[in-house]
Structure 1
């Protein structure tokens, strides 16, 4: 294995929290990956393609002289200048100008949906809608934990923005650890005095298993503005539909069934 590949691979890994996290997301055995880093083994063709796709580089770049590769990586990671951001920010500002008030939706929620990457499992995560500088934002934490063993297979953190347009709530979020996926969700608003469950549709894809885009029904269960966050996080995880943890009411709302006469996945107002 070339010294260039060993050095350049180590540089790319340095931008991530840990080697273990990189291996988990690449789905490459840690022991095998350590051999790549040590220079004692060369990635197979399929693993090389997986590594390049994950880090956003080409194979030819990965085999460059280290100093040249460092310059390329620095350019790819260089923050956008303010003038380059002005146009997309104008689009967001226009949406904010037309967005209605979201004050009643502030607080914590359990978020339920069928997992894109864990077939047949329901994810229950903890989300927060909050306000800063008269704009509304969103945070969501997914702990992919088995509720019986307590073992976790992953952690995803999302951040995003909210809009209330044409009697619908829109959430646009991105995975904030690896910054490798975007989800867009649309919900019916609540016209009741007390928020119960918000129901909608979301589009996205798995963060670890493949690249296939998907769509699913999603429900937000309102918990309140002042909760015990630690205890709420303990209730998050991956669940089987029949284990009784997510209520049957929730499960029926998020079932992704399409009528024979339907051509798109949609959701009726609750």
Structure 2
């Protein structure tokens, strides 16, 4: 018989396109997950932690009465009132006023970095930097496709904002499905007439690693303002560093190595 846990899991899963995508992103066997949903088995402590990390709830909330969890999710989904936004927006507005224009950086990009959850593979995603009313925004799509074969099994979607502060480009993005994961990217600007490549460092907490904070080097390849979006998305996925889909020089730019005399992960200028 299903219990509170299985009912809560089913409710949380209803916010995603498919069970298969959830299992892939968490790294849990589909058959085992189906047993959790049916109330036939309970997650181990490790798997419970991974489930809670992924759905953005505590273990106590996961095990609470279903009506209580639904109410909690509904409250978290409600838009904030103006008084609640006033404090945080003070800091956002100050940064926006200090930001220089990013107009020359607008357009589409391929984004490259070593995957946090698939060791040895480079993630190649598709992103866009654009402006609305003088503010600059960012969208990033990560089609999950092994070695460029076949249709994507899932697409991770991120949105955020971009700033140009003290000669560095900053991008803050969040995962749009649950809004429980933030990535912050810091990039060198380009001093060439053509943008070409941008390099930097990004931080985040991927779900398959238990949301342990991590950092990686990242490279952006500027594609211009007019691209075939469908073709660009089909070129994305997880690839070996020597795959033809990964341009020459990119593996070196995103290789995460701290030199013997170093103490922190630092990006080179391209």
User: Do the two structures share a fold, i.e. TM-score over 0.5?
Assistant: yes
Deviations, residues 87-129 of structure 1 (Å, cap 9, x unaligned): 1122111111011111111100111111111111111111100
The aligned counterpart of 1:253 is: 253
Name the CA shift for 1:165/1:19 in 2 (closer, same or farther; >3 Å).
same
Question: 2:209 is paired with a residue of what secondary structure?
Answer: coil
Question: 1:245 is paired with a residue of what secondary structure?
Answer: coil
Deviations, residues 44-71 of structure 1 (Å, cap 9, x unaligned): 4443343334334444444444434433
Q: Is the 8 A contact 1:4 1:65 kept in 2?
A: yes
- In structure 1, the gaps of 5 or more residues are none
Name the CA shift for 1:226/1:37 in 2 (closer, same or farther; >3 Å).
same
Aligned length: 270
Q: Which moved more, 1:40-49 or 1:180-189?
A: 40-49
Query: Aligned-pair distance for 1:2?
Result: 5.8
Question: 1:6 is paired with a residue of what secondary structure?
Answer: helix
How far, CA to CA, are the matches of 1:113 and 1:61 in structure 2? 34
Pairs within 5 Å for 1:1-150: 3-147=3-147, 149-150=149-150
Query: Aligned-pair distance for 1:228?
Result: 0.8
Query: Aligned-pair distance for 1:151?
Result: 5.4
Q: Is the 8 A contact 2:148 2:238 kept in 1?
A: no
1:240 aligns with 2:240: yes
Query: Aligned-pair distance for 1:170?
Result: 0.7
How far, CA to CA, are the matches of 2:43 and 2:259 in structure 1? 46
How far, CA to CA, are the matches of 1:247 and 1:53 in structure 2? 34
The aligned counterpart of 2:181 is: 181
- In structure 2, the gaps of 5 or more residues are none
Deviations, residues 152-210 of structure 1 (Å, cap 9, x unaligned): 45421111111111111111111112323211111111122221111111112323333
Q: Which moved more, 1:120-129 or 1:250-259?
A: 250-259
How far, CA to CA, are the matches of 2:210 and 2:149 in structure 1? 26
Name the CA shift for 1:81/1:261 in 2 (closer, same or farther; >3 Å).
same
How far, CA to CA, are the matches of 1:109 and 1:12 in structure 2? 33
How far, CA to CA, are the matches of 1:257 and 1:65 in structure 2? 47
How far, CA to CA, are the matches of 2:205 and 2:5 in structure 1? 30
**C-alpha RMSD of matched pairs (Å):** 2.3
Name the CA shift for 1:214/1:59 in 2 (closer, same or farther; >3 Å).
closer
Question: 1:208 is paired with a residue of what secondary structure?
Answer: helix
How far, CA to CA, are the matches of 1:8 and 1:40 in structure 2? 14
Query: Aligned-pair distance for 1:37?
Result: 2.8
TM-score computed with the length of structure 2 as normaliser: 0.89
Q: Which has the larger radius of gyration?
A: 1
Q: Which moved more, 1:27-36 or 1:219-228?
A: 27-36
Q: Is the 8 A contact 1:180 1:207 kept in 2?
A: no
